[in-house]
Amino acid sequence: MEDGTGQTGQRIDRWLWCARFIKSRSLASGFVQTGRLRVNGERISKASRIVRPGDVLTFPLGPHIRVVKVLAPAARRGPAPEARALYEDMSPPARTQDGKPDGATPAARESGAGRPTKKDRRNIDAWTGGN
């Protein structure tokens, strides 16, 4: 889409869908209408808002806050490498509350120990407060 100034742009809901941030166009439209998306620091709630190259989008996606800079409008919803070419990810690295990088670490268990026994499961339940 081109406006009177010669700049190209695209609807925000369609761009989010083409850039593979959201699985369907209707989900993208609903996400924008919740008002959790910011374009250049301005909160928007209309899916018809046009985004142009250079715009910075800030939005929560899962447990993380995503900050992306629009590099180009999308011609189609293509494969993931093509979608990654539409934006520059400027998101801060994910951190947990204790300051360590995000990512669950599995419980320590000897290599080759196999499946926990019934006694092991009872101990695990007692330790984690399970039933």
Is residue 5 predicted with pLDDT exceeding 60? Answer: no
> Which pLDDT belongs to residue 23?
95
Q: Read off the tokens for 76.
A: 């189609």
Question: pLDDT tier at 96 (50, 70, 90 boundaries)?
Answer: low
23's CB contacts (< 8 A; 6+ apart) are: 17
Instruction: State pLDDT tens for residues 60-80.
Output: 988 889 999 999 999 999 999
Sequence-ordered strand ranges (E) for 14-117: 37-39, 42-44, 50-51, 56-61, 64-70, 87-89
Torsional sign, CA 6, 21, 68, 71: negative
CA–CA separation, 11 and 74 (whole Å): 10
Place of tokens 């928007």: 44
Whole-structure pTM value: 0.69
pLDDT in tens, 27-58: 999 999 999 999 999 999 999 999 999 999 99
Token pair, residue 1, equals 């889409």
**pLDDT computed for residue 94 by the predictor:** 72
For 10-89, which CATH superfamily applies?
A: RNA-binding S4 domain (3.10.290.10)
pLDDT at position 122, please?
92
